[in-house]
């Protein structure tokens, strides 16, 4: 059986102390988390109040790197049901114009599966892949409608728009965060990645618009890794709250992040590596 080990090393803060919030891993149809270990600090578990997820809160040893080790085995039970439950917040709720557009697109299709594909295609037509300093929904209390032209957006931005569109049209959809290791980087990556999962009439499909755009196509099909590589999932959903930490409606958790003094998460300096051992199990 194939086993995937992921190591995330976090450099210490310079000139101050802090605590790290670290997701503990997420089961999917492809993998099951079977190990989670932290060295370089003490850990406690803290709960997220809207989804029931747990994360590790790490108090680092002074001046030491924190090293997080995940282990996954091949094959898993599927995505958690909680991933598909709609929770209204400013990262998931569609503004009225976006809601009307999503419903009109869906209603024009022959069935729900075609409607989901059409909404994915519509989202893909709105974006040019990039990492803008100002995101299209910054400062908005709902996800705004993008009327015309191309908007710069990362995987986070594109999937924010897609989730809001799908849920506005009445379809089950979830947002997944994790790590993607491109084939050409030989087991390393720079930061987190995210993708969308839909569930309709018992059929679960995965969508990665951002990687299609990076590959130069807007012809988006379901399935993972249109860009060759491997991925692991660590958490799900948007608009997360950790009451014990004073964190309310945080956009997401992915790679380890420092807990700020005002209850916001701050980016950590990380090094991410993956090792695969064993043989892949035949389907």
3-79+250-277 and 83-233: same fold?
A: no
CA distances from 25 to 102, 127, 193 (A): 32, 29, 14
Q: Are 6 and 56 in contact (CB under 8 A)?
A: no
| Contact present, 105 and 125 (Cβ < 8 Å) | no
Nearest to 103 by CA among 167, 44, 160: 167
CA–chain centroid gap for 160, Å, is 10
Distance between CA atoms of residues 63 and 232, nearest Å: 29
Q: Which residue in 240, 241, 205, 208 sits closest to 227, CA to CA? A: 208
Nearest to 11 by CA among 58, 56, 67: 67
Distance CA 223, CA 78 (A): 14
Q: For every one of its 283 residues, what pLDDT tens digit does the chain have, with 9 covering 90 and above? A: 789 999 999 999 988 889 999 999 999 999 999 999 999 999 999 999 999 999 999 999 998 999 999 999 999 999 999 999 999 999 999 999 999 999 999 999 999 999 999 999 999 999 999 999 999 999 999 999 999 899 999 999 999 999 999 999 999 999 999 999 999 999 999 999 999 999 999 999 999 999 999 999 999 999 998 889 999 999 999 999 999 999 999 999 999 999 987 888 999 999 999 999 886 544 4
Round to whole Å and give the CA distance between 117 and 16. Answer: 48
**Topology classification of domain 83-233:** C8orf32 fold (3.10.620)
Between helix 96-107 and helix 155-168 the angle, nearest 10°, is 70
CATH of domain 3-79+250-277: 2.60.40
Query: Where along the chain do its domains lie?
Result: 3-79+250-277, 83-233
**Other residues' Cβ atoms within 10 Å of the Cβ of residue 108:** 10
User: By C-alpha distance, which of 33, 31, 11, 29 is closest to 20?
Assistant: 11
Q: What is the pTM of this model?
A: 0.95
């Amino acid at each position: 059986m194939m086993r995937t080990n992921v190591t995330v090393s976090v450099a210490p803060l310079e000139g101050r102390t802090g605590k790290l919030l670290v997701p503990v891993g997420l089961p999917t149809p492809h993998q099951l988390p079977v190990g989670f270990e932290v060295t370089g600090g003490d850990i406690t578990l803290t709960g997220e109040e809207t989804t029931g997820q747990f994360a590790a809160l790490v108090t680092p040893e002074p001046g030491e790197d924190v090293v997080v080790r995940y282990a996954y085995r091949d094959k898993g039970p599927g995505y958690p049901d909680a991933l598909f439950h709609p929770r209204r917040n400013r990262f998931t709720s569609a503004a009225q114009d976006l809601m009307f557009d999503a419903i009109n697109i869906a209603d024009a299709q022959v069935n729900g599966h075609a409607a989901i594909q059409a909404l994915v295609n519509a989202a893909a037509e709105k974006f040019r892949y990039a990492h803008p300093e100002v995101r299209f929904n910054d400062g908005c209390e709902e996800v705004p409608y993008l009327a015309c032209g191309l908007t710069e957006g990362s995987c986070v931005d594109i999937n924010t728009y897609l989730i809001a569109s799908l849920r506005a049209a009445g379809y089950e959809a979830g947002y997944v965060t994790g790590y993607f290791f491109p084939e050409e980087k030989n087991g390393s990556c720079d930061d987190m990645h995210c993708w969308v999962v839909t569930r309709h009439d018992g059929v679960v499909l995965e969508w990665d618009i951002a990687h299609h755009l990076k590959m130069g196509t807007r012809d988006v099909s379901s399935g993972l890794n249109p860009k060759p590589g491997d991925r692991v999932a660590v958490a799900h959903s948007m608009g997360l709250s950790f009451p014990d930490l004073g964190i309310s409606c945080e956009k997401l958790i992915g790679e380890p992040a420092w807990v700020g003094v005002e209850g916001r998460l701050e980016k950590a300096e990380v090094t991410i590596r993956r090792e695969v051992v064993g043989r892949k199990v035949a389907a």
